[in-house]
Structure 1
Amino acid sequence: MERDKENKRNVVDYQTNEESCLLPSNNRDQTKLPRTASKRRKVLFMIACMMQQGMSMGIGFGLSVMYAELIIVFNENRSKVALIQSIYMALATGAGIFFTAAIKKIGPGRSMLIGGIFSCIGLFASSFSEGLTAIILCTGVIASIGMGLCYLASFISVTWMFHENAGIYLVILTLGSSLGQFIVPLLYEIFIEKYTWSGAFILMAGIALQTVPFGVIVHCSKQYFVTGVGDKTSTMCDMSVLKDFVIWIILLNFHIAALTGNFEAWFIVDLSISRGFSREAGSVLVSALGFANIIGRMLGGIIRFNCKSIPTVYHWVYLCLILAVGHVLIVNIFDYWGLFTICVLYGIPFGVLSSQIAAIMFETTSLDKYPQAMAISNMALGLANIYSGQIGGSIKDSLGEYDLAFYIAAGLSLYASLTTIVVAFFVRKRKKLQISSQTSTAVKYELLK
């Protein structure tokens, strides 16, 4: 009888981990299932999490408009001004690794409340800065750490709420980032035009504070969470997910995507100014990228929904090739509407690619390891953001143009495409072994019955 029960548990465990190709979990059956949330609750919950993404990433992408303004205001080198956006994006995406245990302990909803208030303080203080260093500290460090809490907490929240099929919802979640990239740069432009850069920081602080009420919505939904964690570890980050070399290849490709993928969004305003267009025209190009990202992330959701049997990482093979072409075209088109068209055509595949990062990590780990895995992948993205802006800014300062930066981006995108083929091979091989193992276990169980 005991042997019969044990085999039954093994079958359930294998079935539960059907989508986790690389790192299966051993703790799923230790979590008590909560009540099921209503459809209305789930929709409101998704909106709340998407708003966290929109605020955190929108403020960062909007700094490309502020970048062009602060170069003139403080008469500083581009490489130094780029530190504001570089450090902000690095910490907003990567700082969550230092707070993973705290988010799991106090809950993602409370983490969003704390992060929103912290970010508001940093942006508000930036408006009173008399030099670039103070802005780097207040916006680049303080505000970004607060948004880093909101950013990672939204990913964790979605996996805990939609634990049965989180991959699709994680793709949908990333729509928030594109909405932020589309809307917030336009707000920066309006605020700078009417209230100067100082007033713009004050108003952006108010926008950052909007994460608080949406954090309350997430907190009030905690009774519907399934954490999948049997052992509530207090460690800062469980590094067991790094024992697989395939994970390392994936993380390196994430790093490359963050390093090169945002060159267009970061430098398109300054690039357009250098070609004789106005800052306002450059802001429109940033928003065009954001709008194209929205379309791309929606397309990413459709692809994920209709290709459930295909591992998400497969799509990076052709997406990286398309991005390589886009990097080359952006510096070889000089007509404004030509640039606008390239921004849209580039933004769509980049939106698809970006939307798949969280789903790839979910598919290659497991529910209980996902918070740590996502924190590590965010750190890979964040580290790239630290020196991504410096590379572009330094090349512009030294050579007077951004061309070399975009050609480097094209080369790295080709590399990511080739290495993804290797990842796809091992993922397919391991999935076959997993299916074979599941079938064998099921047969043994039937014989024991």
Structure 2
Amino acid sequence: MANRLDKLETSEKTPLLSESTKLVRTTPSKWRQCSVLIACMYLHFMSLGFAPVLGVIYVELIRQFNSARSETAIVQSMYQGLTYVGGILFSGVVSKIEVGPPVMIASASSGLALFISAFSVNIYMVIVLVGFVGGMSMSINYLCAFVAVGWMFVANRRAALAFLTMATAVGQTALPNIADYLIDEYGWAGTFMIASGLILNSIPCGLVLYFSRDFFLTENKTSATSSSVREKMCQCRSKQDVAYIMFVVVCLIFPGTSAVESWFTVDISELRGFDRQQGTILLSLVGAFGLVGRLLGTILLTFWPTISIAIPLAIAFQFLALAHFLVVYLTDFYGMLGGIFVRGISIGMVMCLLPGMQLELRGINRFPRTVALCNVTSGLGIVVCGYLGGFIADWTGSYDLAFYIAVGVSVFCGLLMVVIKCLQYV
């Protein structure tokens, strides 16, 4: 288990951490470590944890601005995609000034943008303020939380990073229900205002990180190491390299299509005659079952630490395909619930196993740039697929085609994982 959690640890803190470290801190107390961990968990709770909230507000924005679903879907897809991609853009800044100031600046800008968005006069203002500014700002918080925990915890770093990842799933479970209640009470504009206040609460988290800077185990990346890694990443001379390129393709196409439940479940529920509350319940269960899937993936790697990751991933992708099919094919509430259950378990397994696959393909020396590239491709895929899903709904009058495309993509990704497995052992 320690070996596998090492892989997770490396992937989570990848953008800034490398093999070359330099100790520049005093030993922190347990209280100091706990305060940093709690602060970082809140950053994750409000960054990716906020993404499903936009799925609840999605239907309200369509009504308010009478906008096309393709345009409205850009808000959530851009926010979620840029949360992944943006961290790479700001990694150099974070490495120079550490994590406290970037978190405070990002939290202030995101909170202000979300507050101003409550006064939007068209959907394009929401796209810019929430999707672009919010997504880019939250990418900094998402990155800094991983880096801060990696710098603070040394002896028990693996356990701390594993615990940190649970915050996103908790946010994805709790925040949609809170948003549904706030919409009933204050409307979508009031919900954005309150959400901006919750995001501004991340500023004290930045202060905690700033005043803990003397306790961080920071590091310096040598230019030689960076150049060597870059050289190796650009080569494609072996079957292992071909397998890696196939894996990058998987990272490009599956995250956007796998997010169709998170983005469109509430709207689908209303189109099928259910109310928004029922759709919100289904949406929150996506996060809850996803947490269960992560736990199952961890158990698998614990009891079978030498297992090749490609085959479990291939199986998980087939179950993900089944989940997409069930959600769109079974039109009653409990049928959709069954699809959401399978989806949560399978996507949780996939997200848990991906870091191990990255390490298995490229090794520890090239692991940081491997994760960076996979995150960028995933973010780009998410941004594009959100628009395409809404466009399909505008064009056909339903989301069925989008879900069937997601079925095909999941099956294809599973087959690619089988090919990758074969290339590894040929």
TM (norm. structure 1) is 0.80
Q: Deviations over 1:268-312 (max 9, x none)?
A: 111111110011111111011111112222333333444433455
1:346 Cα offset (Å): 1.5
CA contact (8 A) 1:96 1:152 kept: yes
CA contact (8 A) 2:24 2:214 kept: no
1:364 and 1:225 map into 2 onto residues whose CA distance is 30
**Counterpart for residue 394 of structure 1:** 391
Change (3 A) 1:53 1:369: farther
2:156 and 2:367 map into 1 onto residues whose CA distance is 13
- Give the secondary structure class of the aligned counterpart of 2:121: coil
Q: How does 1:45-84 map to 2 (within 5 A)?
A: 45-84=36-75
Match of 1:323 among 295, 320, 323: 320
Change (3 A) 1:299 1:228: farther
Single out whichever of 265-274 and 27-36 deviates more from structure 2. 27-36
Taking only aligned residues, the RMSD between alpha carbons, in angstroms, comes to 3.2
1:307 and 1:42 map into 2 onto residues whose CA distance is 31
Change (3 A) 1:348 1:40: farther
- Give the secondary structure class of the aligned counterpart of 2:47: helix
**Counterpart for residue 122 of structure 1:** 113
Q: Deviations over 1:213-234 (max 9, x none)?
A: 233334444445445544279x
Single out whichever of 247-256 and 95-104 deviates more from structure 2. 247-256
**Counterpart for residue 133 of structure 1:** 124
AA at the equivalent of 2:251: F
CA contact (8 A) 2:79 2:135 kept: yes
The reply to whether residue 103 of structure 1 matches residue 94 of structure 2 is: yes
AA at the equivalent of 2:46: M
**Counterpart for residue 197 of structure 2:** 206
Q: How much identity, in percent, do the aligned residues show? A: 31
AA at the equivalent of 1:140: G
**Counterpart for residue 3 of structure 2:** none
CA contact (8 A) 2:314 2:417 kept: yes
Q: Deviations over 1:350-401 (max 9, x none)?
A: 1221234455546656778666544432221210111111221111111112
**Counterpart for residue 275 of structure 1:** 272
CA contact (8 A) 1:96 1:378 kept: no
Change (3 A) 1:95 1:349: same
Single out whichever of 319-328 and 252-261 deviates more from structure 2. 252-261
The reply to whether residue 252 of structure 1 matches residue 249 of structure 2 is: yes
Change (3 A) 1:228 1:427: farther
**Counterpart for residue 384 of structure 1:** 381
1:341 Cα offset (Å): 2.6
AA at the equivalent of 2:127: I
CA contact (8 A) 2:99 2:210 kept: yes
Unaligned 5+ residue runs, structure 2? 1-5, 236-240
1:155 Cα offset (Å): 2.9
1:43 Cα offset (Å): 4.6
1:243 Cα offset (Å): 2.4
**Counterpart for residue 4 of structure 1:** none
1:218 and 1:352 map into 2 onto residues whose CA distance is 31
2:346 and 2:383 map into 1 onto residues whose CA distance is 24
1:58 and 1:195 map into 2 onto residues whose CA distance is 21
1:167 and 1:384 map into 2 onto residues whose CA distance is 29
**Counterpart for residue 337 of structure 1:** 334
Q: How does 1:39-438 map to 2 (within 5 A)?
A: 41-161=32-152, 170-227=161-218, 229-231=220-222, 239-240=230-231, 242-243=233-234, 245=241, 246-310=243-307, 312=309, 314-358=311-355, 360-361=357-358, 372-425=369-422
CA contact (8 A) 1:228 1:368 kept: no
CA contact (8 A) 1:314 1:420 kept: yes
AA at the equivalent of 2:250: N
1:159 and 1:311 map into 2 onto residues whose CA distance is 26
1:311 and 1:401 map into 2 onto residues whose CA distance is 39
Q: Deviations over 1:13-50 (max 9, x none)?
A: xxx99x99xx9xxx746634755555555454433333
- Give the secondary structure class of the aligned counterpart of 2:80: helix
- Give the secondary structure class of the aligned counterpart of 2:329: coil
1:206 Cα offset (Å): 0.9
1:158 and 1:370 map into 2 onto residues whose CA distance is 19
2:259 and 2:266 map into 1 onto residues whose CA distance is 13
For this pair of structures, how many residues does the alignment match?
406
